[in-house]
Amino acid sequence: MKELGYYNGKIGELSEMTVPMNDRVCWFGDGVYEAGMCRNGIVFALDEHVDRLFRSAGMLQIRVPVSKEELKNLLDDLIRQMDTGNLMVYFQVTRGTGPRGHAFPAGPANLWITLTPKEINPDAAPVSLITGEDTRFFHCNIKTLNLIPSVMANERAKQAGCYECVFFRPGGRVTECSHSNVHILKDGVFRTAPTDNLILPGIARAHLIAACGRLGIPVIEEPFTVEDLPDADEIITSSSTAPCIRACRVDGRDAGMRDPERFAALHQAIFDEYFAQTGG
């Protein structure tokens, strides 16, 4: 199956696409991005992803070079050029192109899009996690390309044979993971960090909260700590590519797996919604 790339109007096989060395992304990682799952040619929660891209860009004073409708139409056009409708659709906007300098360049922003075949897996097995101090900056609510702390943390998790690294701030407050949000179930309540500047307001997170509402599961959007993880009835990570993953171990110790009925109900609700919105 082919992989497709787009850069400022140019379209080609992803492996053959190139970008200018003086794109701001090369100098500073100066941009924002989104990634969503596509099934049967339909991107799940597309409006939410596009809205968040524009919101992230606005907070960094990046002017997206197309309107929201133009971007959605472009994505639809590119998806139709693929030989499968089951994809990860990634799109990003970088501040522009120009000689290296910290001040903003005068030219327009650059639009990148990649489409790669990918299937979402509703039958993922429980995963192991590690924890690590959150050394990122204080704008985690912006989906920026500056991801070095997350890259390093995810590599530590990989080397430990784990799926994810759960971040915590000084004092023990859990924020999120290296590439997903993290939540717990405790005494029948779904607990998740508030959407302040220390976490990305995840789209899968929002859909989990909505599913809790439909299922009658109370939700508390308040900080919890790394010390709460071993006592949680369930530990759940969520992202657009893996919207409801259950954890069975944290830092080498058994954890979670104590509220299978609620987890199963949440998991079922999330994937029922995904399959219904992407063609049954």
List residues with catalytic annotation.
Answer: 143
Provide the token pair at 175: 């924020």
**How far apart are alpha carbons 178 and 90 in whole angstroms?**
18
**How far apart are alpha carbons 234 and 128 in whole angstroms?**
12
Residues 6+ apart with CB under 8 A from 130: 156, 157, 160, 162, 164, 165, 166, 250, 251
**How far apart are alpha carbons 85 and 277 in whole angstroms?**
14
Evaluate whether 119 touches 66 at the Cβ level (below 8 Å): no
Residues 6+ apart with CB under 8 A from 187: 233
